[in-house]
Chain A
Amino acid sequence: MQHGGTSADAADIFGEVLTALYLQSKYKNLKLVTSFESVFVPLCRRRWVQKSGIRPAVQMEPSKQTPEEEMVTRIENETVQSEILFQTLKKMEDPCKEIIETVLSGGDQQLLAVKLRISADYLKQKKADCLIRLINTSGIRI
């Protein structure tokens, strides 16, 4: 097949990019400033290049990117960031893992505090500590 890969790879990329766009619109308030195709196609292409090991085209400096390219780059970076954070979270131990999962998935924080036998105020402090630990462990820089 042209540029390597299998039909399963192509199907995976198609699904991954569609899901990434859906999640971005739902949780990060993504609003397309251009046609769907002008974002979807470059994202598929970049994912394909990344998976197949093809030498990527020369990346332009952010300041030289068009608004469409900036959006594609941002979506791509945030999707990767999201995966890195999720993988780091999976390796964390409780109670941090449980605190982050419960809080970010909209779970009941009062119930969680009772379960952990800590006050609601202390849970807020623990939540901040755990998120800092997660960010530091993931290697993502602020």
Chain B
Amino acid sequence: MPHQTNQYLGNPDMKYNLTHIARYAEGAMGEKERGYFENALAIDPHLRTGLEQYLRIKASLRMAIMKDPQTEILQETISSLNKKYFQNTSSILSFLHNIFRKRKHA
């Protein structure tokens, strides 16, 4: 598995990598370093893409970690609906038939 901490991201003159992106995103940079990094962000699209990807990964992880009451209510509702609608074989076949019928037409 490649170790990405020192993977180069962006302009070769800037030498910014995942460590810098994470430190910036987490507010761990000092004022001066942050200023340099933001200047680099303004001119380097690859670095901006790296930061966007980092933030998306964080959002993906947050999505998995968060167990808010609404998610639990949704899952309980789905579970009760499943008991109602998925015990009947004909309704399951109808559900799957619809899915695969649409696939053929896709």
Contact = CB atoms under 8 A, between A and B. Distances in A.
A28 B63 contact: yes
A114 interface: no
Interface extent on A, as a size class? 35 or more
Interface extent on B, as a size class? 35 or more
A134 B23 contact: no
B32 interface: no
A51 interface: no
A74 B103 CA distance: 19
B16 to A, nearest CB: 12
Contacts of A44: 99
B22 to A, nearest CB: 4
Nearest to B82: A11
Interface in B50-105: 50, 53-54, 56-66, 68, 70-71, 74-75, 78-79, 82, 86-87, 89, 92-93, 95-100, 102-103
A124 B28 contact: yes
Contacts, number: 144
Interface in B1-31: 1-5, 7, 9, 18-19, 21-23, 25-28
B4 A15 contact: no
Interface string A67-102: 000000000001001110110010000000000110
B61 A89 contact: yes
B60 A85 contact: yes
Main secondary structure of the interface of B (DSSP, over half): helix
- Count chain A CB atoms within 10 A of each CB in B25, B54, B57, B61 and give the residue with the most: B61
Given A26-B71, A135-B4, A142-B18, 13 more contacts: A7-B89, A10-B95, A27-B63, A28-B56, A28-B60, A28-B63, A82-B60, A105-B65, A124-B28, A127-B28, A136-B4, A137-B1, A142-B50
Interface of A: 1-3, 7-8, 10-11, 14-15, 18-19, 22-24, 26-28, 41-42, 44-45, 48, 57, 78, 81-83, 85-86, 89, 100-101, 104-105, 121, 124-125, 127-129, 131-132, 134-137, 139-142
